[in-house]
Amino acid sequence: MSNWTDVAAEADLFEGAGIPVAPGGRDIALFAVDGEVFATDNLCTHGHARLCDGFVEGHEIECPHHQGRFDLRTGDATLAPCTEPIKIWPVKVEGGRVFLDLG
Amino acid sequence: MTTEAPIASPDALHWELGGTSRIPFAVYTDQQRHQRELERFFYKGHWCYVGLEAEIPNAGDFKRSVVGERSVIMTRAADGAIHVVENVCAHRGMRFCRKRHGNQTEFVCPYHQWSYAPNGDLQGVPFRRGVRQDGKVNGGMPADFNPKDHALTKLKVAVRGGVVFASFDHEVESLEDYLGPTILQYFDRLFNGRKLTILGYNRQRIPGNWKLMQENIKDPYHPGLLHTWFVTFGLWRADNKSELRMDAHHRHAAMVSTRGSMGQASGQAAQVTQVSSFKAAMELEDKRFLDIVPEPWWQLGEQMPTAVMTTLFPSVIFQQQVNSVSTRHIQPDGHGAFDFVWTHFGFEDDTAEMTERRLRQANLFGPAGFVSADDGEVIEFSQQAFESKPQHRTLAELGGREVGETDHMVTETLIRGMYEYWRKVMEAPEPSVAKEVSP
């Protein structure tokens, strides 16, 4: 069952890095890549670091802590030392607002 | 006006009679000389023992070990390859690994959380690209910072028969050349390709110079005299059929002996050794300590040795005393002490009874062993005497003053041989700065 929740204004996003949002106390990072929006859990599955502070390279987010990477489209870990995938969240943008399906 | 006597150089050792039959106490007492030994024996031109493959059977397994006085980690990477890396963070030099052994996919220094792969490659550096604040990025490593330049120090690794050796010196000769053909045959007899199983460890700190442990196992004179347990219960007789073998450099040795009878102790031992403390009336309460069962692998050519004690210079001793087999790792800590780590092992095809037997016989060894407890003490008391009068010397003239292999045990030739090699290496001029390898 869908549970679309308004989490941010699209205008708050910028290319190159993420922003943190906290719907219902969850820690989630939003990323804008070529006008498309992606959402992942913010806490890296490897070290204790927030991916919103990392660096977007193509469709990958590089963790600021150990330079491990995840694919923003699938959540797959793509570069060591990250090995566990990161949870991704369904996103839609409507009327300049970003919605996440929190399930 | 007086003329002061020139101050003796710390390198100046007086070798009475010119050979190595009289060993200056000062070889055991000087910290500067000890540093030179570490550089020349443990860190350059030699292989050092670090552990057994069976200690890290699975991908991600690791064991913390030591080469000389440097902490190293023996790891097994995801592809099964064994690596040995130095336990010194490439960043601020911290000895980051504290666990003795474990299983993990990476090593993270707790200080700044630099992360390394099991092969020592640097994987990640926190804030390498800086930290974002108010739309700009602050700090970070220089743009030309390349993680490939900042791996952990990787040692050269050699594995043979399940035994892992490492060297900081990547120019070191092959392990096989290092052992030489004579010692290699005794090595291959014990580590003949069967998988090893780990039975347990003993660890002890011995307050004496590390070389004394090598000398102890190159000294077939003492076992029948110091170790009254051996004599009383018939495991050692000076008239056992025996051989003393060395490599071409005389740095490694094997003391090979075969008991006359494979059976239980006989009271006749006293007639050979004349040990006053021999007590014919003494009997073992639990005779299973000497429940010896000959094993096919003991066979070497025409012989069936019951004991082979192999000293590999400088770092390890391989023991076979009847059914008890172990490695003994020498880990120096300054000139006056070393840690001595025993790894008791068996073989994958051992029956449960044989494993029990090996474990029971292991009671003879280790810091509180019926036999080996004696060695720790004599080394400690020797060191105390050396420190009190370093200008004096020991005597190692049993069997003559020369060096050579023998077919008997009544000689200190292996000790003289070891010091012949020691002098060759230690008395060589300093290598030129250009040649110095800085690992």
What is the per-residue pLDDT across B279-306, written as a single tens digit (0 to 9) for each? 777 888 888 888 889 999 999 988 899 9
Mean pLDDT of chain A: 94
B324-332 and B316-321: which strand pairing? antiparallel
Structure tokens at A48: 């204790």
Question: Do B146 and B237 fall within a single domain?
Answer: no
Q: What are the tens digits of pLDDT across the range B391-413?
A: 999 999 999 999 999 999 999 99
CATH number of the domain to which B79 belongs: 2.102.10.10
Q: Is residue B92 part of a domain?
A: yes
pTM for the whole structure: 0.89
Q: Is residue B245 part of a domain?
A: yes
Task: List chain A residues with CB under 8 Å of B150.
Answer: none
Tally of domains within chain B: 2
Q: Is residue B405 part of a domain?
A: yes
Q: Is residue B33 part of a domain?
A: no
CATH number of the domain to which B315 belongs: 3.90.380.10
How far does the CA of residue A3 sit from the closest CA of chain B (Å)? 32
Q: What are the tens digits of pLDDT across the range B257-275?
A: 988 654 334 444 434 444 5
User: What pLDDT was estimated at residue B23?
Assistant: 98
Q: What are the tens digits of pLDDT across the range A86-101?
A: 999 999 999 999 999 9
Nearest to B124 among A53, A55, A65 (CB): A65
How far does the CA of residue B67 sit from the closest CA of chain A (Å)? 28
Question: Do B207 and B74 fall within a single domain?
Answer: no
Question: Do B213 and B343 fall within a single domain?
Answer: yes
Residues of chain B short of pLDDT 70, as ranges, are 1-11, 237-238, 260-278, 432-439
Question: Do B95 and B232 fall within a single domain?
Answer: no
Of residues B246, B252, B244, B243, the one with CA closest to residue B312:
B252
Domains of chain A (ranges, CATH numbers): 4-96 (2.102.10.10)
Question: Do B219 and B88 fall within a single domain?
Answer: no
Residue pair B74/B55 in contact (Cβ under 8 Å)? The answer is yes
User: What pLDDT was estimated at residue B278?
Assistant: 64
Residue type, B436: E
Nearest CA in chain B to A62: B129
Question: Do B300 and B351 fall within a single domain?
Answer: yes
User: What pLDDT was estimated at residue B241?
Assistant: 84
How far does the CA of residue B123 sit from the closest CA of chain A (Å)? 6
- The C-alpha atoms of residue B238 and residue A80 are separated, in whole angstroms, by 60
Question: Do B314 and B352 fall within a single domain?
Answer: yes
Nearest CA in chain B to A47: B113
Question: Do B389 and B245 fall within a single domain?
Answer: yes
- The C-alpha atoms of residue B306 and residue B290 are separated, in whole angstroms, by 12
Q: Is residue B169 part of a domain?
A: no
- The C-alpha atoms of residue B397 and residue B399 are separated, in whole angstroms, by 6
Burial of B320 (0-12, 13-18, 19+ CB in 10 A): buried
Q: Is residue B413 part of a domain?
A: yes
Flag whether residue A81 sits within 8 Å of chain B, measured between CB atoms: yes
Question: Do B151 and B210 fall within a single domain?
Answer: no
How far does the CA of residue A2 sit from the closest CA of chain B (Å)? 34
Q: Is residue B339 part of a domain?
A: yes
Question: Do B110 and B184 fall within a single domain?
Answer: no
Question: Do B78 and B194 fall within a single domain?
Answer: no
Q: Is residue B15 part of a domain?
A: no
Note which residues in 1-60 of chain A have CB less than 8 A from chain B. 17, 47, 49, 53, 55
Task: List chain B residues with CB under 8 Å of A62.
Answer: 129
B31: phi then psi, degrees, rounded to nearest 5: -70, -35
Of residues A87, A92, A74, the one with CA closest to residue A29:
A87
Residue type, B6: P
- The C-alpha atoms of residue B222 and residue B238 are separated, in whole angstroms, by 10
Q: Which of A51, A57, A65 to mutate to test the interface with B (most CBs of B within 10 A)?
A: A65
Instruction: Tell whether ipTM is more than 0.90.
Output: no
User: What pLDDT was estimated at residue B34?
Assistant: 98
Strand partners, B107: B116
Question: Do B125 and B239 fall within a single domain?
Answer: no
Q: For residue B311, give its domain range.
A: 180-260+285-427
User: What pLDDT was estimated at residue B3?
Assistant: 52
